[in-house]
Amino acid sequence: MQTERYIWALYVTVLGLSFLVFCSNLTLLTSEQEDNNICQKYPKNLVGTIYPNLTDTSYKDMEFRFTWVQTGGHHTPTRCKPRERVAILIPFRNRNNHLRILLNNLHPILYRQQLGYTIYILKQADEKPFNKGKLFNIGYLEAKKDNHTCFVFHDVDLIPENDNILYGCVRSPMHLSRAVNTLNYKLPDKRLLGGVTAWKTKEFEQVNGWSNLFVNWGGEDDDMSYRTIANKLSIFRFRISVARYQMLKHRRTPVNTARHRQLKDSYTRYKIDGLSSLVYQSPRTQRYRLFTMVSIDT
Ligand code: UD2
Ligand code: MN
């Protein structure tokens, strides 16, 4: 009986000691983070649900209000060290009012999330059919030159409805626009990668970026889904109640009628069609106050 009591007392002591060691590590970790003063992953000042401001606003007005934004649409937090250097890459042609509305909603969210970030507008400067994938690939390479580590590929017409949609590549790849109003806030297919996605360098280069071959509307996002499957990458998403976006109204882009044929060999073609096959003249870069404009001839 006496021995059992001793063994039981010993067991409780060892358990207690190991719990104390665990807690001290935890405190150590937090204090380590505090020592390095790394920005919080989930900043306390996030508000959650947002009612997007869909009124068209002037750049002058935004420049006056967004005091933290430096030339080039860039911001680095001063009171903590950002976890990632995030490049927001927006494909663009003839969507000026959408661009102003998106910037008016996005800059405050990125600021509250304590990100180091730069907003790049990837303007297709020629009159050829719109080539979103190629704009994204060129934008990625240009933003990488500015030492970014996380890349968010962002439709110009998608306005976030919640600032808990973290833009800092907490996982990679992430599909951020899981619930869009035009799709009744539902995800039609778990392989969908249209709208807004976030990638870290490793995974993005593993899939060789986007295809350069899809022009006009449709297919480039499906092709990207096949690339993630071919590389056994899981697609991470925030909860459907959080990852909500509003799409601004617009006319339909002319449809890419060749997309179904092109998608047939997506699994194998990805190795030779993307970042590795990109040929382009170096784009003109203009650093405005609220964004960096990269004018691209595709
Ligand atoms: C869906 C996808 C989009 C893309 C497209 C098929 C979602 C939420 N969105 O969008 O990611 O896969 O289908 O290609 O699933 N753009 C211009 N000027 C143009 C045409 C396009 O700037 O003349 C840009 C702009 O950033 C726009 C994006 O390309 O948001 C996608 O084009 P869209 O908005 O016309 O296509 P949509 O809404 O069907
Ligand atoms: Mn759209």
Q: How far is the CA of 168 from the centre of ligand 1 (A)?
A: 22
Q: Say yes or no to pLDDT of 65 above 70.
A: yes
∠ Cα 173 178 182 (to 5°): 140
Q: Say yes or no to pLDDT of 169 above 90.
A: yes
Q: Residue 28's pLDDT is what?
A: 44
Nearest atom in ligand 1 to the alpha carbon of residue 196 is 11
Nearest atom in ligand 1 to the alpha carbon of residue 180 is 8
Residue whose CB lies within 8 A of the most ligand 1 atoms, among 217, 248, 257, for a mutation test? 217
Residues paired with residue 199 on neighbouring β-strands, in sequence order: 151
Cβ atoms within 10 Å, residue 220: 26
pLDDT confidence band for 53 (50 / 70 / 90): very high
More confident position, 164 or 21: 164
One-letter identity of residue 1: M
Mean pLDDT of all residues in 272-291: 97
Q: Say yes or no to pLDDT of 249 above 50.
A: yes
Residue 86 near residue 110 (C-beta atoms within 8 A): yes
Q: Say yes or no to pLDDT of 275 above 70.
A: yes
Q: Residue 19's pLDDT is what?
A: 62
Token pair, residue 261, equals 């044929």
Nearest atom in ligand 1 to the alpha carbon of residue 90 is 26
Give the N- to C-terminal CA distance of the chain in Å, as an integer.
84
Residue 222 CB less than 6 A away from ligand 1? no
Q: Say yes or no to pLDDT of 31 above 80.
A: no
Nearest CA to ligand 1 atom 33: 253
Q: Assign 162 to helix, strand or coil.
A: strand
Token pair, residue 191, equals 């392989």
Clarify whether 222 is annotated catalytic: no
Mean pLDDT of all residues in 96-120: 98
Q: Ligand nearest 98 Cα, by number?
A: 1
Look at residues 222, 214, 168, 163 and name the one whose alpha carbon lies nearest to residue 192: 222
Nearest CA to ligand 1 atom 27: 155
Q: Residue 36's pLDDT is what?
A: 83
Residue 186 near residue 253 (C-beta atoms within 8 A): no
Residue 269 near residue 232 (C-beta atoms within 8 A): no
Q: Say yes or no to pLDDT of 266 above 70.
A: yes
State which H helix or E strand residue 159 sits in: strand 158-160
∠ Cα 239 42 148 (to 5°): 95
Q: How far is the CA of 265 from the centre of ligand 1 (A)?
A: 23
Q: What's the CA gap between 86 and 109, in Å, rounded?
A: 13
Find the range with the poorest average confidence among 1-5, 80-84, 155-159. Answer: 1-5
Mean pLDDT of all residues in 13-37: 57
Q: Say yes or no to pLDDT of 151 above 60.
A: yes
Q: Ligand nearest 210 Cα, by number?
A: 1
